[in-house]
Copies of this chain bind each other. A is one copy, B any other.
Amino acid sequence: MEKDFGGFKGILIIGLGLIGGSLALGLKKEGYKGKIYGYDLNENRVKTALELKAVDEGFNSLENIPWESVDLVVLSTPVKTFLDIAKTIKPFLNQDTVVSDVGSVKGDLVLKIHEVLKPHTFVGVHPIAGTEKEGIENAKPDLFKNARLILTPIGEDTEKVEKVEKLWKDLGSKTEVMDPHLHDFVFASVSHLPHAIAFSLVDSLITLSKESGIDLFKYPGGGFRDFTRIAASSPTIWKDIFLENKENLIHTLDTFLQSVQKLKDAIEKEDENKIIEILSESREKRLSID
């Protein structure tokens, strides 16, 4: 199929960080012919986006944006800002302008944004991509290529949903549609929980280092490096994600705490069969995803 990026003529990216910047660079690299507008509160990021030729025009005032030429808005700021931004930009939107996002939390948030923006269409999008690095200076045009991407549309406007999906397919993403609440449960389990654990593991090693007087971080062998890579992720972004997906995350954390307790009990009791059972089931499952 021809690359038409969903037929959008003017795309406004709100928030010029790693993800917003990578989207802009990806569109340029893959041959998007329309205009790319970038907006950020931070003037330096706008400047960098222009220098990198990621965007055609950059703004740090909403009033100056040529809204009449914008038919897609992509929110790529921290998720907790989405509702306020949706309220603020609504008066500027053309009748047919689609609003989308690239946030890691969906669920109720998607329903609330939908409510604020209607009759405009909101299409929730979560690209399963990113690194522990932040900022447009780390943006990569191929970040979304071959990456999975979840769409969480609600409502009936399938034509606009398909346009947004086409845009990401033309960037090389593997798209999939999911209910927004199911999305939040799944990603609490496979992403937010592992991040919480990685931060907690490093936190516990800080405590153990203080307690023993030995700098344990001098010994990063044995899997520790890979294992805690995600603990280098942005505190602000992850604080927001943890709070926005609080209920699911608490539930998965409780389930995880039970699993740790189960293994700990088996070790304390020296119950070899139980330990082998837990380790073997986990190993088998883990091997199944490679």
Contacts and interface: CB of A to CB of B under 8 A. Distances in A.
A214 interface: yes
B196 A263 contact: yes
Please tell me how many copies of the chain the complex holds. 2
B256 A220 contact: no
Contacts of A253: 260, 264, 267
Given A226-B226, A278-B203, A191 B256 contact: no
A91 interface: no
A216 interface: yes
Interface in A205-233: 205-208, 211-212, 214, 216-217, 219-233
Interface residues of A, number: 88
A279 B239 contact: yes
Contacts of A198: 223, 227, 282
Interface of A is mostly: helix
Contacts of A205: 189-190, 285
Contacts of A232: 283, 286-287, 290
Given A198-B282, A200-B263, A227-B230, 18 more contacts: A128-B219, A185-B212, A187-B219, A191-B223, A193-B204, A194-B223, A203-B281, A204-B258, A204-B259, A227-B227, A235-B276, A235-B280, A235-B283, A239-B272, A243-B275, A249-B267, A250-B268, A253-B267
